[in-house]
Structure 1
Amino acid sequence: MTYNLNFAIKFKKEGEYIVYDRDSFTQGAIRISVPDIVTIFDKFIQQSFETTGLLDQPPSKVKDANLHQEEKVQGKVTVFEEQSVPKTTIQSLSGEVYYCQTKKIKDTIAFQEFKNDLAEYLHKSLSRINSDNLLKEETNVFISGIKEVLEVRNYLVTYTTNSSKKQYKEGYLYVMKT
């Protein structure tokens, strides 16, 4: 199991579901896939995030794409008639999403435990790496975990703790399982 962590300035809800809108995200998602980090992250989202379904909505069509041109031949002159094609509003449930407004998690006990767990993982992983095993393959999982902890840390610094931007304080951490 892996998680994709993203930040959305806002999101659209339709009933009890969130509608996926790529334009509401500030940057690409970060992937959390190292098993120990996934376990730490899973514990955090279970304590702090709400869960709902995610709806895929087809992108809205531009005006020209909504028109169907039908060619009719009258004598030697070709006439194009525009016929309106109904817009598709089909939505499909595409998965489960976890979300939490950033201002609501900043000072919670769960967020403090999450930071403690990440710091503990970072400390243990760094202490397991030495000159004898630095270039060995079994060290790769520690290196990958350290990298993920640093990515999560940088992401959270930007969008939760040090942000002076009001839109970031009002935004949402948005997590999808993959």
Structure 2
Amino acid sequence: MKLPRSIAGWTIAVFGVLALVMGTVGLLWPEAQLRMLGFEVPETRAVGDHTGTFLLASSMAAFNMGVYYLLATVTEWRAFYRFTVVFRLVTFTVFTIAVLADIAPDRFFGVAAWEGLGAVATAVGLRLDARRGAPAGGIDASEGAAATADAEEGTGPAGAAPADAVR
């Protein structure tokens, strides 16, 4: 796997690795995941308690999200980076409200803080990268001329929108 080529890319990569790891922990050792988040782990579950099913689904989603974030890092997909800033701030807000409304335990605020700090770190990284001219849209500097030609023709590298090809 290629290492990130930008500050924002590193923030996305770190989140991706952690999402992948936490998803794996939830799939392989769900009780540990629940304890880390501050939830009780009873000896037995009541009939109709679908905590395990929900944790399985959430862990699989986290695992997949980790893969998506790492793929975005490898391709330096900056539009995805910007998208994550907005939605990680939304996640921070929802999780914070859940803690304040006593829907989730206080320790769950750590998840909210992680989302909020990650969003801010990526936003700062995007700003710093823009100032120093970091790679954009999965295009290496050596591919700049081809990207310009593709942009003029309305095409871009495989899987990239034309706007991404020239950013």
TM-score with structure 2 setting the length: 0.37
**Greater CA radius of gyration, 1 or 2?**
1
Decide which structure has greater helix share: 2
Decide which structure has greater strand share: 1
TM-score with structure 1 setting the length: 0.35
Tell which has more relative contact order, 1 or 2 (C-alpha 8 A, sep 6+): 1
